């Protein structure tokens, strides 16, 4: 399943992403989740909860799906450009 994850800031950390995407219920679970599950960030194995994810980043979690990080600002800017 492919999902878009919208962020308002310049980046989101992998730990914050897991909570934002409802994969974990609290930020404290991030370290455990990363130790127990395979997570690919732009096709590279990643286990650092502080890894910064910028718009355009692809996160793949085999049990959960594929996620695309997008900026809220880029979506609203595209809407304005269409006018």
Going from N- to C-terminal start, the domains of the chain cover: 2-82
Q: Measured between alpha carbons, how far is 60 from 6 in angstroms, rounded to an integer?
A: 16
| 81 has pLDDT over 60 | no
Average pLDDT, the chain: 89
What are the angstrom distances between the C-alpha of 5 and each of 9, 36, 82?
12, 22, 22
**Better pLDDT: 79 or 9:** 9
| Reported pTM | 0.84
At residue 82, the pLDDT reads 55
At residue 73, the pLDDT reads 80
Fold held by 2-82: 3.10.290
């Amino acid at each position: 399943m492919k999902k878009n994850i919208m962020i308002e800031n310049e980046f989101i950390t992998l730990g914050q992403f897991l909570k934002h995407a409802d994969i974990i219920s609290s930020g404290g679970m991030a370290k455990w989740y990363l130790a127990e599950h395979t997570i690919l960030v732009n096709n590279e194995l990643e286990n650092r909860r502080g890894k910064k994810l910028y718009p355009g980043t692809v996160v793949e979690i085999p049990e959960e799906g594929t996620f695309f990080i997008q900026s809220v600002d880029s979506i609203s800017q595209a809407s304005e450009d269409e006018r």
